[in-house]
Amino acid sequence: MKIALMMENSQAAKNPIILKELKAVADAKGYPVFNVGMSDENDHHLTYIHLGIMASILLNSKAVDFVVTGCGTGQGAMMSLNLHPGVVCGYCLDPTDAFLFAQINNGNALALAFAKGFGWGAELNVRYMFEKAFTGVKGEGYPLDRKEPQVRNAGLLNQVKAAVLKEHYLDGLRAIDPELIKTAVSGERFQQCLFEHGQDKEIEAFVRDILNR
């Protein structure tokens, strides 16, 4: 599993903390982590709007399999990611949230609150969330006697989203302000992740075209 970590401007100073805890869990499992957002407050400026665009490009191109993101409350990042096709983002405040999202919703992104309640022991809470998110088989249901309807409903939710968002993925991106997209994809680490690991040449060509404008 390839994991992308992306953080926006308001919480960029915490990137080293979050990256350290994520890698502690991911490295033990052999999962590569790509730190594609802001690494500090002076880095390439991003908002949670940009995070949604970035996550959708990386997930739909299959450059990564999972995105860890967030903002001050985590709510804006979650809404921004869930606007896009191919992205199922959950809201996570504690390890139980991470476990239940992995087992019941089986999505591909988590939005964390990097300011709300981020006090003493916050780094431990973050690490335990990652342990629950990436340990064991996903989509097993909880409790186990609810597995069948939970798996069915998760699939139905994806079908409904695909039906509502009828346009081709790139047609949706083309409808967004190009300058907004250009800011989202201008980070060097983001580009490296996409161009080295992406598996969709159309998406890659679209991003290169945006960057060359």
Residue 103 above 90 pLDDT? Answer: yes
Q: Which domain holds residue 108?
A: 3-211
- The mean pLDDT of the chain is 94
Counting residues of the chain whose pLDDT is more than 90, the rounded percentage is: 83
- What pLDDT shows up at residue 147? 83
* pLDDT tens digits, one per residue of 144-181: 888 888 889 888 888 888 877 777 899 999 999 999 99
Q: What are phi and psi of 110, to 5 degrees?
A: -130, 135
Instruction: State how many domains the chain has.
Output: 1
By the 8 A CB rule, do 56 and 5 touch?
Answer: no
**Following DSSP, what letter does each residue of 130-162 receive, concatenated?**
HHHHHSS-TT--SSGGGHHHHHHHHHHHHHHHH
pLDDT tier at 129 (50, 70, 90 boundaries)? very high
Average pLDDT over residues 27-31: 97
* pLDDT tens digits, one per residue of 41-90: 999 999 999 999 999 999 999 999 999 999 999 999 999 999 999 999 99
CATH number (domain holding residue 168): 3.40.1400.10
Q: Which of 125, 62, 133 is nearest to 104 (CA)?
A: 133
pTM of the predicted model, to two decimals?
Answer: 0.94
- What pLDDT shows up at residue 111? 98
Q: Cα–Cα distances in Å, from 142 out to 29, 36, 136?
A: 23, 32, 13
- What pLDDT shows up at residue 133? 96
Average pLDDT over residues 92-117: 95
* pLDDT tens digits, one per residue of 197-208: 999 999 999 999
Residues 6+ apart with CB under 8 A from 56: 81, 84, 85, 86, 87, 169, 173
Q: What are phi and psi of 64, to 5 degrees?
A: -135, 165
Average pLDDT over residues 3-11: 97
